[in-house]
Structure 1
Amino acid sequence: MTIEDLEHDRDDAAPIDMLERYFAAHGWSCERDDDEIVAKVKGSWTEYELRAIWREDDSVLQFLAFPDVRVADHARAAMYEAIGLVNEQLWIGHFELWSSSGILLYRHAAVIAGDDAPALSLDGAELIVESAIDECERFYPVFQFVLWGGKTPKEALAAALIETQGEA
């Protein structure tokens, strides 16, 4: 199945089913069970693990993107500050740091309700997946500048958000 096939078949599908079809159309390997799906996606900075969990009781789809960043205990204060500055830039979703493991992730939750059965459209799947990948790609350098570049969170954000002008 390709994205073009999905565009022609625009019927809504159960959230995990639609994400599975979306991942397959992009050629991304994935694993799933009844209420969860996990895919691996190669970005320009790193490989991302994408994970969606469907909570039928609440009609909530939780979408997580893991940019393969682990934060050591000594760097957590600076990383929490960086995450706070980054989250001020986001319209949907947010970054967080899991305190138990030091894993950085992007998280977004969507309420998906339907008259008969909750369904996710192709446009909805695309928004959820692509916004997660885009934000991880956009802010990955900030986190690396803080962890490995010796920059303060404010310096890292300023350096990462500089937009180049013209062509090289």
Structure 2
Amino acid sequence: MNLEDYGEGTLASAPLDVLEDYFAAHGWQSERNGDEEIVAAVKGSWTQYELRAVWRAEDRVLQFLALPDVRVPEDKRQLVYETFGLINEQLWLGHFEMWAASSMILFRHAALLDSASPAGLTLQQAETLIEAALDECERFYPVFQFVLWGDKTPQEAIAAALVDTAGEA
């Protein structure tokens, strides 16, 4: 698919169409919730991820979320917020946060899309949004597990989970 497929009569949901095509090309199940939202399920190395994109046509903003299957017990919330602070300062794109109502950890970022482009979102941009979210979730999932279930401090969890190897095996 390319942007010319959208032509002059572009639908308000064109960025979601691009994401839907991307998900389908990867064999990922997805579901549209009108012209404003799409949700997909993706199996990662550590867990199942829910990918969610919300399109605000009036602002031309595409918000992208990746939700690993991680819920935070009440007694660990403060540690997780500290962990977010240490992790988020290392990120170039997006951030981790927690939905207070459900205690779910999520990765979120948004893209302000160019009004000059008919669809507003290219396949390359879609890939960047999705891969950045999945890569960061995969990279930091062990950190959250160490904090939540391994009784490590955020600093210990990051040091243990993000060991860089040198050389080749």
Q: TM-score higher than 0.5 here? A: yes
Give the Cα separation in 2 of the matches to 1:127 and 1:95.
17
**Structure 1: runs of 5+ lacking an equivalent:** 1-5
Q: How does 1:54-93 map to 2 (within 5 A)?
A: 54-93=55-94
Give the Cα separation in 2 of the matches to 1:115 and 1:146.
45
**Relative to 1, partners in 2 of residues 1:144 and 1:12: Cα closer, same or farther, differing over 3 Å?**
farther
Match of 2:99 in 1: 98
> RMSD between aligned alpha carbons?
1.6
Give the Cα separation in 2 of the matches to 1:11 and 1:152.
51
Give the Cα separation in 1 of the matches to 2:117 and 2:166.
50
Contact 2:3–2:119 (CA under 8 A) maintained in structure 1: no
Give the Cα separation in 1 of the matches to 2:15 and 2:113.
8
Match of 2:16 in 1: 16
**Relative to 1, partners in 2 of residues 1:43 and 1:116: Cα closer, same or farther, differing over 3 Å?**
closer
Match of 2:123 in 1: 122
Give the Cα separation in 1 of the matches to 2:100 and 2:155.
22
Q: What is the CA deviation profile of residues 82-125 of structure 1, one whole-angstrom value per residue up to 9, with x for unaligned ones?
A: 01101011001000011122110000011012237452001100
- The Cα shift of 1:165 comes to 2.8
Q: Amino acid of the residue matched to residue 41 of structure 1? A: V
Q: What is the CA deviation profile of residues 2-52 of structure 1, one whole-angstrom value per residue up to 9, with x for unaligned ones?
A: xxxx4xx46486210000000000000000131110000000000100000
Give the Cα separation in 1 of the matches to 2:5 and 2:98.
33
Match of 1:3 in 2: none
Q: Amino acid of the residue matched to residue 154 of structure 1? A: Q
- The Cα shift of 1:166 comes to 3.7
- The Cα shift of 1:164 comes to 2.1
Match of 1:159 in 2: 160
**Structure 2: runs of 5+ lacking an equivalent:** 7-13
**Relative to 1, partners in 2 of residues 1:162 and 1:116: Cα closer, same or farther, differing over 3 Å?**
closer
> Is 2:29 aligned against 1:29?
yes
Aligned identity (percent) is 63
TM normalised by structure 2 equals: 0.90
- State the aligned residue count: 161
Contact 2:29–2:41 (CA under 8 A) maintained in structure 1: yes
Contact 1:65–1:107 (CA under 8 A) maintained in structure 2: yes
- The Cα shift of 1:139 comes to 0.3
3-state SS of paired residue (1:61): strand
Match of 2:10 in 1: none
